[in-house]
């Protein structure tokens, strides 16, 4: 999480390990707690669900309105919609429906097996490490968006029946303070993610989401820090300033 203030700023450095950054097997183990347990229980009881298509039935690309309802402020990432188009083409070619389920909107069934082979083959053709992670991020986010349609509340990221939006009370930040929530794609739309509370409470302009590996998001965030006089890190060594 990043932030800037008009008066005093404390800086910390966070460097992403190269061994962690590009591995599609990255796993974060959360210790069970009361809130986490209730959320995971809700996720485990959810039945497999097919991706919801748009009215034209052409594969359900993400619109700007839908994208920003999830808490995003950037334009719709072009690579995310490109991944969705590839998913739809594969669905037509193998005559199998996209099916999602569980926490995180993960692909399931026969379609998952075929799609996994295809995306791994494409991943291996990308020589540049940044492009590899951008593709990995876009695929993670595309699947989570499709698998969450009509299932998760777009504001609190919880299943519709567990929506907690009515319990959140909006508030205002002090003048001159702004948060940036720099989020890993595997945390996007994660039901036990508490970072989303920042923009639920303070609004997306005061606590802005930036998805790691999404160039449209990162460009907005680093430009904002550059305009504020902060150093922008290179792609090889992502050091970030943290309040």
Contacts of 188 (CB under 8 A, 6+ apart): 70, 140, 141, 144, 211
Q: Is the pLDDT of residue 113 over 50?
A: yes
As beta bridge partners, residue 101 has 106
pTM: 0.71
Element containing residue 81 per DSSP (H, E): helix 78-94
pLDDT tens-digit series, residues 141-194: 999 999 998 889 999 999 999 999 999 899 988 888 888 999 999 999 998 888
As beta bridge partners, residue 211 has 183
Q: Are 178 and 151 in contact (CB under 8 A)?
A: no
User: pLDDT tier at 47 (50, 70, 90 boundaries)?
Assistant: low
pLDDT tens-digit series, residues 5-36: 433 333 333 333 333 343 333 333 333 344 44
| Token pair belonging to 131 | 């492009």
Element containing residue 125 per DSSP (H, E): helix 109-125
pLDDT at 104: 59
């Amino acid at each position: 999480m990043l932030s800037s203030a008009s008066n005093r700023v404390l800086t910390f450095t966070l460097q992403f390990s190269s061994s962690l950054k590009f591995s599609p097997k990255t796993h974060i183990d959360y210790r069970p707690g009361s809130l986490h347990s209730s959320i995971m229980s809700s996720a485990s009881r959810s039945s497999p669900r097919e991706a919801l298509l748009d009215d034209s039935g052409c594969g359900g690309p993400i619109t700007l309105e839908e994208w920003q309802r999830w808490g995003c402020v950037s334009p719709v990432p072009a690579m995310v919609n490109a991944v969705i188009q590839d998913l739809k083409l594969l669905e037509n070619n193998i005559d199998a429906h996209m099916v999602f389920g569980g926490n995180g909107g993960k692909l399931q069934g026969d379609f998952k097996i075929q799609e996994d082979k295809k995306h791994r083959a494409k991943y291996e053709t990308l020589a540049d490490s940044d492009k590899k992670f951008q593709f990995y991020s876009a695929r993670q986010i595309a699947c989570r968006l499709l698998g969450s349609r009509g299932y998760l509340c777009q504001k609190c990221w919880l299943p519709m029946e567990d929506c907690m939006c009515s319990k959140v009370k909006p508030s205002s930040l002090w003048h001159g303070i702004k948060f940036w929530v720099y989020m890993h794609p595997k945390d996007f739309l994660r039901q036990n993610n508490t970072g989303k509370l920042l923009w639920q409470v303070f609004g997306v302009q005061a606590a802005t989401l930036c998805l790691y590996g999404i160039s449209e998001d990162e460009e907005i965030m680093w430009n904002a820090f550059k305009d504020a006089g902060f150093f922008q890190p290179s792609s090889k060594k992502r050091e970030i300033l943290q309040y």
